[in-house]
Amino acid sequence: MVLALAEAEAAATRGEVPVGAVLVDSAGNLAAASGNRVELDHDPTAHAEMLVLRAGAARLGTARLAECDLWVTLEPCAMCAAAVALARLRRLYFAAWDAKGGAVDHGPRIFDQPTTHHRPEVYGGIDERRAVALLRAFFRDKR
């Protein structure tokens, strides 16, 4: 989570919502890392999770990341949670819960839907305080 939080901090310095993600392969090696790039790329899908899934799949040469784990600083939204399911990730670790936009433990609960083909193991609340502090500081400074 330390690496994901570093990516979130870097995203904040670029004016992006401070969300960071890392993808780790089955051997524990870093397959990809990124922070949000929505504003930089002018791309509404450039969430940290989507970026690392794309980069990791390209690096590993497969769309099925069944032996990989995703670490992200915020509970994934519906788009990102669906992508996690489609990638067949082994585990999802996230820091802060997102009651408004989250889609794992909140909102549509993507992995609980009968049409979802895969549900990773999910672990939330990892280093939550630090992730929440980053988000609060970012939005406080925006106001």
Q: Which amino acids are annotated catalytic?
A: 49
**How far, in Å, CA of 15 to CA of 35, rounded?**
11
How does DSSP assign 8-65, residue by residue? HHHHHHTTS---EEEEE-TTS-EEEEEE--HHHHT-TT--HHHHHHHHHHHHHT-S--
